[in-house]
Amino acid sequence: MNNAYRALWWREFVLYRRNFIGEGVLNLLLPLIFFLFLGMGFQQIVGKIDGVAYFEFLIPGMVLLTIALSAFETTSWFYATNRRNQQWQEVILMGDFPNKRSLFLSQILIGIVKSLFHGLVIFLITVFLSGASVSQINIQAFLAFVLFTAIQFSALGHIVGLYVKPGPLLGRLVIFLIFPLFIVSGIGWNISQYTPVFEKIIYWLPTYTLMHGTQSAFLKGVIQNFALIVTIVETGVIVGVAQLLTGTRDDV
């Protein structure tokens, strides 16, 4: 890791420590409230889904949602604020970066690590609150889907940050796009409960593939090979697009 990467990590840590309430706690609070609200509201009515307690069923979705929101926010705000408004990237790039790709990679990495940390916290809290068993988890598959979610949404945040100015629009994208995408992809219910047409539509959503793979790994200990392949391809495409759209500085 060269100097510039270390500098970006240092900056992230300074800001995280300073904005812990706004960035850390609030990032965790939204999925947590949602978890408790859905769980307590429907546990009595639904009882079990796919043979597991409703609270337990919610866990993989909540972890994914936390990771997605956190990764998206980290990279989108970095680029939206610093690149679009202040052209601050110019200063960073004068540092010890071999090229623009390195900055792209390091920021994606920051998004991934931060979101995985938030995901881990939510995982531990929700497992603790629900008393869910973790012995059945296919850990490799679970980690793979979780990691690909972090990569996808870090890269997506990067793309959005390149074009959207910081402000309400970024918040709206989270509330009205990412959040609903996860909801309809089956955070709180099995998508077989939808009408056949709607189910088919949901089936093709990238968020469903992630959700399906993670739920299978967590709840049944099963690795969904097809979902994993689709996820790998999707991740490659999103990261590729993000890198392409970053554009090349004339010198790199």
Residues of the shown chain interacting with other proteins in the complex, contacts defined by CB under 8 A: 2-4, 6-7, 10-11, 14-15, 81-82, 86-88, 90-99, 249-252
Q: Would you say 16 or 194 has its CB closer to other proteins?
A: 16
Quote the least distance from Cβ 172 to other proteins, whole Å.
22
- Measure the CA–CA gap between 104 and 88, rounded to whole angstroms: 14
Nearer to other proteins, 51 or 250 (CB): 250
Q: Between β-strands 48-49 and 52-53, what pairing exists: parallel, antiparallel or unpaired?
A: antiparallel
Q: How far is the CB of 235 from other proteins (least distance, A)?
A: 29
When the beta carbons of 57 and 78 are compared against other proteins, the nearer one is 78
Alpha-carbon gap, residue 207 to 245, rounded angstroms = 22
> For residues 35 and 62, is the Cβ–Cβ distance under 8 A?
yes
CA gyration radius, the chain: 19
Find the length of the chain.
252
By C-beta, is 24 or 95 nearer to other proteins?
95
| Cβ neighbours of residue 50 closer than 8 Å, sequence gap 6 or more | 57, 190, 219, 220
CB 19 to other proteins: min, Å: 8
Return d(Cα 152, Cα 83) in angstroms, integer: 21
Which residue lies nearer to other proteins by CB, 91 or 175?
Answer: 91
Minimum Å gap between C-beta 136 and other proteins is 43
Orientation of helix 26-46 relative to helix 100-130, angle to 10°: 40
For the bound state, the minimum distance from the C-beta of residue 88 to other proteins, rounded and expressed in Å, comes to 5
